[in-house]
Amino acid sequence: MTIENALSLTGLNIGITGLDLEQTEHRGIAQVTKNIIFALSSEKANIFLITNYGSTRLRKNDIKSISKTAIEEITISDILEQLKDTKDVKNIFIKKLLLYMSLPKIIIDYYLKLGELSSAKYLLNTNHKSIHGDSERMNYVNHLKGIISFPNIFNICRLKSRRLILGTPKIDLKKCNLDIIISASPLSLKIISSKSNHTKLIQIIHDAIPLLYNKHPDHPVHFYHRLQDAVKADKVLYVSNTTKEITLSIIEKDNISKKDSDIINPIPSISNDYLKKASLYKSKFDPQSNFILFNSSIVSRKNLDILIYNFLSSGLPEQNYKLCVAGKIHKNEYCKYIKKISEPHNCINLLGYVSEIDKAWLYLNAAAFVSPSATEGFGIPALDACCLGMPTLLSEIPSHLEIYRKFKLNKHISLIPTNDNEAWISNMNLLLKNKNQLNENEKQSRLNLYQENQKYFSEQFKNILKNAIRN
């Protein structure tokens, strides 16, 4: 058997957890989850999304009165609509309240079933995909064989990470006919295997930021327990060496370092199709000047407030440069502060959460990309920028240093000490040497370089996944 045949994934049934695809914003981890789906489906594996959702419209009496096919169609429709829908604050509050009220029932059911989570599998057809898979948020649906509904799976995993239940939630792969499960983010989860046929659980760990940063919404002890449970999997993949080293040092168990693990660097997140469309696209964010780009979640560890100060202190505003900030403005105190210091200055554009086509346009037309972040698990927005060959100003942190050393990206990157304001100002002023807007040839060069770099990272990503599955 050749190596190529040995690594074939044709016909394998692979379940991928969709926890981060259920979130309102599809950021870094959600993008990695989608890329896993794209990569493995291209290898002709059958991909099933594992979701917390079930039907919202069916009641027990309804189920007794209609056909099995009707039940399946209604359930699939409900699940896909929940995955598509972005919840507002009120709905999130109500959802949390209802969950709190139902916790006793969830816990009782858990123990009655001896910790084994029940599931239902649904196959997707062309009609489901044509209705729900046509948006940029849901394009991954076109690459799914089906959906496996485990009601409350993620809620139960959360209860385990809080150590409110004994034992680890279990999935029987034989019942849902899966050969393997990939947890796209660390979960407190266990696979039931027979002695004759050991099935594999792969866990992906993106960062340890909740332990390093005291303003992260995840409780540090609960997140520690998630890491502690995740590293017990058959295979552990880390998105960077930085994340691996930090995780292993924090867990502090000698046997963990001997577990089978590997590094799986994320793929640049902008699709080539969107970049090509963006080259012909008239964006609503079209500034009448050169601009530098900040694209990230708006949280204090990203140091956006310091970036704004340094930008205003540089010579860029006087030369008609703008700072474009792409990222959702939440209703928290930090975002309120960012709005307050930005509003007096026309040279600072808070764009909010942008579409994929607008994001592609911003990257294609920006004079430079900036990320003064204090900590990152990897840094996909920074990877996007330097893969395009645009000037990329990054804080001198371990994860950015990793990107700096990858492929031939270092010639596009300037690493700047995170808290050295003078160095940031001087590096931004260097942009004044090339203050003319990009011409079409330069944009085409970015497109060509990005295509080359994306191909490289995609192949690396796919090979790591295949080896993890078939090793």
Question: What predicted TM-score, i.e. pTM, was given to this entire model?
Answer: 0.88
Q: Which helix (H) or strand (E) holds 350?
A: strand 348-352
pLDDT of residue 180: 92
pLDDT digits (tens, 9 = 90+) for 69-96: 999 999 999 999 999 886 655 555 666 6
> What is the phi/psi pair of residue 394, to 5°?
-125, 145
Within 8 A by CB and 6+ apart from 1, the residues are: none
Beta bridge partners of 414: 393
pLDDT of residue 91: 59
DSSP string over 424-435: HHHHHHGGGGG-
Per-10-residue mean pLDDT, the chain, length 471: 55 94 86 94 95 88 86 93 73 64 83 87 92 86 95 91 90 84 93 71 92 85 93 92 90 63 91 88 73 93 96 92 92 93 94 91 93 93 94 95 86 93 94 70 90 92 92 72
| Cα-to-chain-centroid distance, residue 371 | 18
Domains, in order of start, for the chain: 3-264 (no CATH), 272-455 (3.40.50.2000)
pLDDT of residue 112: 81
pLDDT of residue 1: 29
Cα–Cα distance, 199 to 247 (Å, whole number): 25
* Number of Cβ atoms within 10 Å of the Cβ of 428: 26
Q: Which helix (H) or strand (E) holds 249?
A: helix 241-251
Cα–Cα distance, 421 to 307 (Å, whole number): 9
Q: What is the 8-class DSSP label of residue 344?
A: T
Reference 346, options 310, 313, 318, 315; nearest CA is: 318
pLDDT digits (tens, 9 = 90+) for 206-261: 999 998 888 888 889 999 999 999 998 989 999 999 999 999 888 876 556 556 67
pLDDT of residue 194: 61
Structure tokens at 308: 């704004």
- Rounded-to-10 torsion of CA 201, 161, 32, 294: -160
pLDDT of residue 330: 87
